[in-house]
Amino acid sequence: MGGCPVLQFLRSKTFRVIAVVALVIGSYAIAGFVVAPKLVRSALLKDVPASIGATPAKDGIVELELSLQ
């Protein structure tokens, strides 16, 4: 059972688990940096004026993408 050790590792269960974990973390990061700020900003700019009658400033929104909060 010779062969290239790299190819054996790429076919192993360990590699698959590491790849899935990396994919999940990468998806979370992309969602935090791209999707979430757009959703929060649009929701704030729509709902705040309706509820308190004030217009929020767009540059006052702080995003903590990777804080898990």
4-13: pLDDT as tens digits:
888 888 889 9
* Cα-Cα-Cα-Cα dihedral sign, residues 32, 37, 40, 42: negative
Domain boundaries, the chain: 29-69
Single-letter code of the amino acid located at 10: L
Is residue 37 a contact partner of residue 58, using CB atoms and an 8 Å limit? no
SS3 content of the chain, % helix, strand, coil (to 5): 70, 0, 30
Residue found under tokens 């004026």: 49
DSSP state of 2: -
10-69: pLDDT as tens digits:
889 999 999 999 999 999 888 888 888 888 878 877 887 777 777 766 665 566 666 655
